[in-house]
Amino acid sequence: MDQIKKSILHLYPTTKFLVTLFLCISVFIVPGYLYAYSVLFICMFFSYLAGSFKEFSDLAIKALLLIVVFIFILQSFFYPGTHVIWSWSIFSIKQEGIDFALNLTSKIVAIGSSFILFFRITKVKDLISSLEALGLPPKVTYIFLSTLQIIPEMKKLTIVIMDAQKTRGVETEGKLFTRIKAFLPTLSPLILGSIAGTEERVLTLESRAFSAKVKKTSLYTVEKTKYDPIVRIILLILLITLIIWRVML
Amino acid sequence: MTTKRGLKYDFSLIAILLIPIGVAINFVGAQIVLLLKLPVYLDTIGTALTAMIGGPWIGMVTGLCTNLVKGILNPVSFAFIPVQMGVGLVVGLLAMSGMFTKAWKVIIAAVLVSLTSTIIASPIQVLMFGGATGNSSDALVATFLASGQQIWTAVFSTKIINECIDKVFCLLIAFFIVKKMSPRYLSKLNYGSIFIKSKKQ
């Protein structure tokens, strides 16, 4: 069990991405909504193997449940159709609407859950490092990595600033208008402060030859495992079989 | 003094460092809204701000990065990448033509920006998600549909109402914050000079 978990988590990021891409494409090759919904369970199974089942299901529910419910409500009531299943005064649920909603939501759930799975089993750091190996310029990778670092930092800073403003007497609770007035005093020190910091960061980066037009080396690299080629070949075979099966049908 | 502008010159190091800050502002703005329990989203302040002082291309990249990062937790955001990019581009272009120098001009700009984002977002919402987005504005779409509207007009009207309110606040906040920035910093950016001039008046 631990062996399987390790080998899934240590797969090369682009291989994992190919798995995600394969799941997304296969949804459009295989007709009907049953297969597309089962992709959710396939992803659940993989996330269980990788030991992140709870995180996966939490995120999947948060991201996908509401939108699926709303699509069902909108489409089943308002999709033009004639086969009325259930009706109450001016509202009626139609078979065509339900079919349309099933088709649409199954694809959204499949694509959404395969991407959620991908980001649960792949560290963003690994993904970016593998993209850099593929030839992504280091400026782009720097933007992404520093973005991911700055967000939690600034979230912490927000709480600090809010507390500081409260001690100065800025009200952050109460009527709507009071709360609106508290918005700008919280946000503007945060923004002006972090923007002032960029000037120093420019100096720091330049002193480390960030803009120099030479090949950069990296301290952090991801290695391909022995399973990577196997997984890729299996995916290719599966894709070809699916296409042939679909054409022959 | 004239500065060279365009895709080739806009990505100076100081402008590149603005992008992560812009993305973080988008997130933090939304977080403060949650903490203060305000009835708006305000999740494009960072995109607007970077587009104003960094130019349309930097704004577009900020929008792109924002939704890519959001997509790590909620893949639905990937579908709405073009919306944020469009907002960045249009805000940048409007800032270049001096639409962000006075408060009343900002409000006109906000209407134009919300029109852009509605035009980009509505087809995505209707064709890919059957008109739903998974948040509270769907109730309004349902109300429009129940009153006999077509799905396109229902989504479009809901969007334009929401966007106008949201973008007016977003752009005004970005405008006030840019006004507070020091000319010393603004002068280092390709598009900062617009806001230095408007300070003298």
Domain containing residue B111: CATH number:
1.10.1760
Enumerate residue ranges in chain A where pLDDT < 50. none
Q: Residue B140 is part of which domain span?
A: 13-200
> What is the distance in angstroms between the Cα of A137 and the nearest Cα belonging to chain B?
13
Question: Considering the domain boundaries, does residue B88 fall inside one?
Answer: yes
Q: Render pLDDT for B30-43 as a digit per residue (tens, 0 to 9).
A: 888 888 877 778 88
Residue type, B189: L
Could you tell me which residues are beta bridge partners of residue A87? Answer: A92
Count of A-B CB contacts under 8 Å = 167
Closest-CA residue of A relative to B11 is A139
Hey, which bits of A38-180 come out as E strands? 84-88, 91-94
Give B130's contacts (C-beta < 8 A, 6+ positions apart). Answer: A71, A74, A75, A100, A101, A104, B151
Q: How confident is the model at residue B198 (pLDDT cuts 50, 70, 90)?
A: low
ipTM: 0.85
Closest-CA residue of B relative to A78 is B145
CA dist B141 and B130 (Å) reads 11
Residue type, B149: Q
Question: Considering the domain boundaries, does residue B189 fall inside one?
Answer: yes
- B40, B44, B72, best to mutate vs chain A, most A CBs in 10 Å: B72
Q: Render pLDDT for A32-85 as a digit per residue (tens, 0 to 9).
A: 888 889 999 999 999 999 888 899 999 998 888 888 888 888 888 877 777 777
Q: Which two tokens stand for residue B118?
A: 């509605």
Question: Considering the domain boundaries, does residue B5 fall inside one?
Answer: no
Q: Chain B contacts of A111, Cβ < 8 Å?
A: 75
What residues of chain A, 178 to 207, have a C-beta less than 8 Å from chain B? 179-180, 182-184, 186-188, 190-192, 194-196, 198-199, 201-202, 205-206
In this complex, do A70 and B133 lie within 8 Å of one another by their Cβ atoms?
Answer: yes
In this complex, do B24 and A206 lie within 8 Å of one another by their Cβ atoms?
Answer: no
pLDDT at position B1: 46
Closest-CA residue of A relative to B31 is A155
Is the pLDDT at B140 greater than 50? The verdict is yes
Nearest to B138 among A70, A116, A139 (CB): A70
Question: Considering the domain boundaries, does residue B174 fall inside one?
Answer: yes
Q: Render pLDDT for B92-134 as a digit per residue (tens, 0 to 9).
A: 999 999 889 888 999 999 999 999 999 999 999 888 888 887 7
Closest-CA residue of B relative to A178 is B36
Is the pLDDT at B137 greater than 50? The verdict is yes
The number of distinct structural domains making up chain B is 1
Question: Considering the domain boundaries, does residue B115 fall inside one?
Answer: yes
Q: Render pLDDT for B24-83 as a digit per residue (tens, 0 to 9).
A: 999 998 888 888 877 778 889 999 999 999 999 999 999 999 999 999 888 888 999 999
